[in-house]
Amino acid sequence: MEQYGYFDDAAREYVITRPDTPSPWINYLGCEAFFTLMSNTGGGYSFYKDARMLRITRYRYNNVPTDAGGQYFYINDGGSVWTPGWMPVRAKLDAYECRHGLGYTRIMGEKDGLQARQVSMVPFGSDALVTRLTLENKSALAKDVSVFSFVEFCLWNAQDDSTNFQRNFSTGEVEIVGSAIYHKTEYRERRNHYAVYAVNAPVQGFDTDRESFLGAYRGFDSPAAVFENLSRNSVASGWSPVGSHNLKFTLAPGESKSFIFVLGYCENPQDQKFTAQDVINKAPAEKLLAMFRTDAQFDRAFDDLAGYWDGLLSIYNVSSGDEKLDRMVNVWNQYQCMVTFNMSRSASYFESGIGRGMGFRDSSQDLLGFMHLIPSRARERLIDIAATQFKDGSAYHQYQPLTKRGNFEVGSGFNDDPLWLIFGVAAYVKETGDLSILSESVPFDNDESVAESMMEHLRRSYHYTIDHRGPHGLPLIGRADWNDCLNLNCFSATPGESFQTTANFESGVAESLFISGMFVGVSDDYARLCREFGWQEEADAVPGFKQDMEQAVLKHGWDGEWFLRAYDAYGHKVGSNECDEGKIYIEPQGFLVMAGVGVKEGYAQKALDSVRKHLLSEHGVAIHTPPYTRYHLELGEISSYPPGYKENGGIFCHNNPWIVLAEAVLGHGDRAFDIYRRTCPSYITDQKLHHTEPYVYSQMVAGPYAPRFGQAKNSWLTGTAAWTFFAASQGILGIEPDFDGLKIDPCLPAFMTDVALTRKFRGSTYRIRMQNKAGGEKGRVKVVVDGCAVEGGLIPADIAPAEHEVCVTIE
Ligand code: BGC
Ligand code: NOJ
């Protein structure tokens, strides 16, 4: 089987050994405000905070060849032109390697005895992409080398940039001072920010006008300036501003030379925008550039970044005896959780950055995998999310990261949304013990005049479900629940109509078993939060609400071998053996069993047996089966996709960890791990078939009915990251932050007999050793902390903050 790369665990890098990966395999640089997506061939783009509003460099989605546009370094070595990342010139390289690391990417290319090594990062604390490019002459002869840097600026608003050409082509402006190129389009009017692209050496020439650099009718693969080895010193005026520096130098045999390139974002206060008429105030840029003039400065920033990640990844670390699990849990899964926390579903190679902002449901779930990393940022996020809730408990489905305002176009009506907020806040309190978040005053719909406590927001979330129940006492689905392609109140026969915003059939009866699982699952945590807040009466009412819902599920939601998925707008069953297609769905089996529904009655076990029997495949558990072969007006988008793709019978990775967690509830360690392994990237054997990056989760892998069974799509930005980390770290390995302390409750596969784990939690470091003789089922768990047995596996929160030895035996 063709291989494209491997894990270098010691370096915490993924090493790509050939540039022509099945799709671009990318990395995310930046973890605060400035971000760059960088592919293994140097493609990608940068933005500040918001990929739509403040896009710094241009990128063309849907383009051929794919992945065209990025930060490029063209090399002209005595007339031979090439690029170290292979793209865009695609000259044959003698050597190539790309290493994606934590917040940085290295690309090495070599041709005719000249080696180019680039290291790119977004340094912690800086709003810039900083790249060191080193050229080394490995040949026996002196070389005259000419390097041309290249970025293409985006005119800030990425949506306008790709549509409004009649205006765009006349707005572009730059300034050039020495080796610094300033992109200042629209700065003369309402913008107080600009971009700078600079190198720490004198240049032989520059270009800032795309057509001058490339030549008319030429592409990124053959810039005229590079092939003629002569910059045009062009000054952009309208059209498409770019940034290109030319550096010419001689390298003796064995000699090498490095340059540091900085692509930065700078802001000025409104009253200090200009230093003279039309001359931008460059002080912030000069300050930025001064930070990256020398190799020593670059190395320090690189070390700081490594230190930052060392710190984050020291919070949860396992040595399980299975290196594939270890590298995912310790490094790549947590890394992806940081990315999904930052990006939500906004900017990837499958999300254009101009569509969805932050999703209410998406962001709430992303927090579940991020909470332990930086709880203070999670807290802030929870408040932002809650502020987009309406007074009746419903919520804007999405909001824009820059303005934090709810998105009007999409509006509300997704009836799962409100409950996710309770999951998020409960996870925060469990991690930190910080109850002050409950009293935090948070507006509704961003209107400070109607602010209430966070706890009141949660109450409205919870009661929204209670107050919106259908004929069977089950939650009404509204526009959709988690599976937002199951559009039960949208009878769309009009081409182009949006399934996300159309609710043209007010049935008032379509109900969701999935939301019932969420409701039951979150009830105990909600009651606990009420009690902590002093709402005893409300807390006391919760068991009744919970029980009513469980009863409704047992009575109207059980199909005989598994749980139903929903009742549609006619009151017909969805996900039933009675259906011709879509007979069984994964979501209710996962969420209802996680919530403990039907455990006593034996339904839970049956439901999970049915999952294995009907939905399990080599590449994971399919979302439902059999897929819909025709369009069902009453089901909506789910039946738009051809069988086996996406929500129509694909392996929708996000919900696989729910089955892992459900298996753990029933105590099946081997079965839980088996599901975990099937979607886990580091167990992938056929990288060509899988297509997307083998170091991160993808949203979807084509299901058994698809012609391309096993092919993944939509990598990086998926709730799979958070839920899988949650399932592995808490469900399987059993390290569960809880209100009263750290609960140790593993459910291990038989082969994991000896596990060592470190967990930092509320000021203590726990060194945990587990001896497992339970043979693949849960077994009896005994926990001894510093020599003393603890009750119920719970290490109490009031233990003195220190380093503690924890011995766990499972028999
Ligand atoms: C996709 C879903 C996605 C939704 C919202 C649908 O077309 O299949 O996965 O959540 O759009 O953007
Ligand atoms: C992707 C969306 O981002 C998410 O909100 C949704 O739950 C899943 N697709 C499932 O449809």
Q: What is the pLDDT of residues 275-325, one digit of tens each?
A: 999 999 999 999 999 999 999 999 999 999 999 999 999 999 999 999 999
**Which atom of ligand 2 lies at the shortest distance from residue 359's CA?**
5
pLDDT at 355 exceeding the cut of 90:
no
Six-digit token pair at 724? 């899988």
Ligand nearest to the CA of 639: 1
Q: Are 108 and 97 in contact (CB under 8 A)?
A: yes
Residue type, 779: G
Ligand 2 centre distance from Cα of residue 115 (Å): 44
> Counting beta carbons within 10 angstroms of the beta carbon of residue 319, is it exposed (0 to 12), middle (13 to 18) or buried (19 or more)?
middle
Confidence at 785, pLDDT banded by 50, 70, 90: very high
Q: Closest ligand 1 atom, CA of 714?
A: 9
Q: How confident is the model at residue 566 (pLDDT cuts 50, 70, 90)?
A: very high
Nearest CA owner, ligand 2 atom 11: 483
Look at residue 30 and tell me whether its pLDDT is greater than 90.
Answer: yes
| pLDDT of the residue at 506 | 87
Residue among 484, 485, 623, 648 whose CB has most ligand 2 atoms within 8 A, to mutate: 484
Q: Which atom of ligand 2 is nearest to the CA of 647?
A: 11
Lowest mean pLDDT among 77-86, 437-446, 500-509, 593-602: 500-509
- Which residue has the least CA distance to atom 3 on ligand 1? 484
Task: Enter the tokens of residue 528.
Answer: 């606990």
Q: Using CA atoms, how far apart are residues 381 and 407, in angstroms rounded to an integer?
A: 17
* Ligand that lies nearest to the alpha carbon of residue 343, given by its number in the listed order: 2
Q: Over 90: is that where the pLDDT of 403 sits? A: no
Cα–Cα distances in angstroms (integers) from residue 234 to residues 195, 212, 227, in the given order: 18, 6, 16
Take atom 10 of ligand 2 and give the residue whose Cα is closest: 483
Rounded to the nearest whole angstrom, what is the distance from the C-alpha of residue 719 to the centroid of ligand 2? 8
**Pocket residue to mutate for ligand 2, from 346, 351, 362, most atoms within 8 A of Cβ:** 362
What is the CA(720)–ligand 1 centre distance, in A?
A: 14
Distance, CA of 508 to CA of 512 (rounded, Å): 12
**Which ligand does the CA of 360 lie closest to?**
2
CB atoms within 10 A of CB 551: 11
Whether the CB-CB separation of 516 and 564 falls below 8 Å is answered with no
Residues with CB under 6 Å of ligand 1 are 356, 484-485, 500, 637, 646-647
Closest CA to ligand 2's atom 5: 362
At 1, the pLDDT band (50, 70, 90 cuts) reads confident
Cα 339 to ligand 1 centroid, rounded to whole Å: 19
Ligand 1, atom 6, residue with closest C-alpha? 485
Ligand 2 pocket test: which of 365, 482, 653 has the largest number of ligand atoms within 8 Å of its C-beta? 482
Sign for the CA dihedral angle at 455, 457, 460, 465 comes to: negative
Give the pair of three-digit tokens for residue 560: 């005989």
Which whole number is the average pLDDT over 164-178?
98
pTM of the model: 0.98
Instruction: Tell me, in angstroms, the distance from the centre of ligand 2 to residue 362's CA.
Output: 7
- Ligand nearest to the CA of residue 345, numbered in listed order: 2
Please give the pLDDT value at position 503: 86
What does the alpha-carbon distance between residue 406 and residue 372 come to, in Å, rounded to a whole number?
A: 27
Residue 20: band (very low, low, confident or very high) from pLDDT cuts 50, 70, 90: very high
| Per-residue pLDDT, 729 | 98
> Of the bound ligands, which one is closest to the alpha carbon of residue 499?
1
- Output the CA 300–ligand 1 centroid distance in Å: 42
Strands 741-744 and 754-761: unpaired
Question: Per-residue pLDDT tens for 37-47?
Answer: 999 999 999 99
Ligand number nearest CA of 654 is 2
Rounded distance from Cα 758 to ligand 1 centre (Å): 37
Whether 472 shows a pLDDT value over 90: the answer reads yes
- Protein residue closest via CA to atom 10 of ligand 1: 484
Helix (H) or strand (E) holding 209: strand 205-209
Minimum CA distance residue for ligand 1 atom 7: 485
Tell me what the mean pLDDT of segment 537-547 comes to. Answer: 98
Amino acid 744: pLDDT: 98
- What does pLDDT average to over the chain? 97
How far is C-alpha 86 from the chain's CA centre?
A: 27
Ligand 2: residue whose CA is nearest its atom 8: 483
Q: What is the pLDDT of residue 408?
A: 87
Write the CB contacts of 136 (distance below 8 Å, at least 6 apart in sequence).
114, 115, 116, 117, 251, 254, 255, 256
Which ligand is nearest the CA of 362, by number? 2
Residues with CB under 6 A from ligand 2: 345, 359, 361-362, 482-485, 647
Q: Name the DSSP letter for residue 642.
A: P
For residue 366, the CA-to-ligand 1 centroid distance in Å is 16
Q: What are the structure tokens assigned to 446, written together?
A: 């961003």
- Of ligand 2's listed atoms, the one at least distance from the Cα of 486 is 11
Give the model's pLDDT for residue 357. 84
Confidence of residue 409 (pLDDT cuts 50, 70, 90): confident
* Residue 633: predicted pLDDT: 97
Ligand 1 atom with minimal separation from the 652 CA: 9
Nearest protein Cα to ligand 2, atom 3: 362
Q: Which long-range contacts (CB under 8 A, 24 or more apart) does 136-140 make?
A: 136/251, 136/254, 136/255, 136/256, 137/113, 137/251, 137/252, 137/253, 137/254, 137/255, 137/256, 138/110, 138/113, 138/114, 138/254, 139/112, 139/113, 139/114, 139/253, 140/113, 140/253
Query: Which ligand 1 atom is the nearest neighbour of the CA of 700?
Result: 9
SS3 542: helix
Is residue 90 predicted with pLDDT exceeding 90? yes
Question: What percent of the chain shows pLDDT beyond 90?
Answer: 97
Chain center to CA of 315? 20
What mean pLDDT comes out for the span 39-61?
97
Amino acid letter for position 326: D
Work out which ligand 2 atom sits closest to the CA atom of 652. Answer: 10
* Residue from 351, 417, 484 to probe ligand 1 pocket by mutation (most atoms less than 8 Å from CB): 484
Region 523-532 average pLDDT: 99
Atom of ligand 2 nearest to the CA of 646: 11
The model's confidence at residue 132, banded by pLDDT at 50, 70 and 90, is: very high
CA of 484 to the centre of ligand 2 (A): 6
Residue 239 neighbours by CB distance under 10 Å: 15
- 699 CA from centroid of ligand 2 (Å): 9
The rounded Å distance from CA 483 to ligand 2 centre is: 6
Residue 504 CB contacts under 8 Å (≥ 6 apart), including other chains? 489, 490, 491, 492
* Mean pLDDT of all residues in 711-724: 98
Instruction: Please state the atom number of ligand 1 nearest to the C-alpha of residue 355.
Output: 12
Q: Which residues are known catalytic residues?
A: 484
For ligand 2, the distance from its centroid to the CA atom of residue 487, given in whole angstroms, is 13
Closest atom, ligand 2, to C-alpha of 356: 3
Number of CB atoms found within 10 A of residue 450's CB: 11
The amino acid that residue 222 corresponds to is S
Q: Whose CA is nearest to atom 7 of ligand 2?
A: 482
* Protein residue with least CA distance to atom 1, ligand 1: 485
| Residue among 587, 623, 647, 653 whose CB has most ligand 1 atoms within 8 A, to mutate | 647
Q: What is the pLDDT of residue 13?
A: 98
Ligand 1 centroid – CA 141 distance (Å): 57
Q: For 111-127, what is the mean pLDDT?
A: 98
